[in-house]
Structure 1
Amino acid sequence: MHDMHDMRETMRSRLRSIPVFADVGDAHVEEHDLPDNPLPAIGEWILAAGAAGQQEPHAMSLCTVDASGVPSSRVLIVKDIAEDRLFFATPADSRKGLDIAANPHVAAHFHWPVAGRQVRIVGIAADQGRAASEADFAERGRGSRLAAHLHRPGPLPDRRTALTEFERLGSRYPGEVPCPPAWTLYAITPTEVEFWTASLDRVHHRIVYRRDTVRAPWSRELLWP
Structure 2
Amino acid sequence: MDSASQLPGLRRSYEGLPLLESDLADDPMAQFSLWFAEAVDAGLPEPNAMILATTSAGGRPSARTVLLKGFDERGFTFFTNYESRKGRDLAENPRACLLFPWHPIRRQVRVEGQAVKLPREETAAYFHSRPYGSRIGAWASRQSAVVRSREELDARYRELAERWPEDPPVPDFWGGFRVDPVEIEFWQGQTDRMHDRIRYRLSGRRAGRAGTWTRERLAP
Give TM-score, length-normalised by structure 2. Answer: 0.89
Instruction: Mark the CA change 1:151 to 1:219 in structure 2 (over 3 Å): closer, same or farther.
Output: same
Map of 1:219 onto structure 2: 214
Q: Provide the rounded CA distance (Å) in 2 between the counterparts of 1:18 and 1:59.
A: 23
1:37-56 → structure 2 map (5 Å cutoff):
37-56=27-46
Alpha-carbon distance, 1:124 to partner: 0.7
Alignment gaps of 5+ in structure 1: 1-7
Output the CA distance in 1 between the equivalents of 2:77 and 2:204.
Answer: 19
Identical amino acids, percent of aligned pairs: 35
Change in 2 beyond 3 A, CA 1:213/1:100: farther
What residue is the counterpart of 2:48 in the other structure?
A: 58
Partner in structure 1 of residue 173 of structure 2? 182
Aligned pair in 2 of structure 1 residues 97, 27: CA closer, same or farther (>3 Å)?
farther
Partner of 2:72: 82
Q: How many residues are matched?
A: 215
Q: Is the CA contact 1:111–1:117 (under 8 Å) kept in the aligned structure 2?
A: yes
Could you report, residue by residue, the CA deviation over 1:36-91 in whole angstroms, capped at 9, with x for unpaired residues?
Answer: 11012223222211221211010111111111111111110111111331111112
CA apart distance, 1:12: 6.7
CA RMSD in angstroms comes to: 2.1
Secondary structure of the corresponding residue to residue 104 of structure 2: coil
Q: Does 1:67 align with 2:57?
A: yes
| Alpha-carbon displacement from aligned partner over 1:108-166 (angstroms, at most 9, x marks no partner) | 10011111000011101101121111112112222221111123263011112212222
Distance 1:180 1:25 in 2: 47
Q: Is the 8 A contact 1:191 1:213 kept in 2?
A: no
Which range moves more in the overlay, 42-51 or 72-81? 42-51
Residue in structure 2 matching 1:20, options 8, 12, 31: 12
* Contact 2:95 2:113 (8 Å CA) reproduced: yes
Q: 1:204 Cα deviation (Å)?
A: 0.4
Distance 1:148 1:213 in 2: 39
Partner of 1:5: none
Amino acid in the other structure paired with 2:147: L
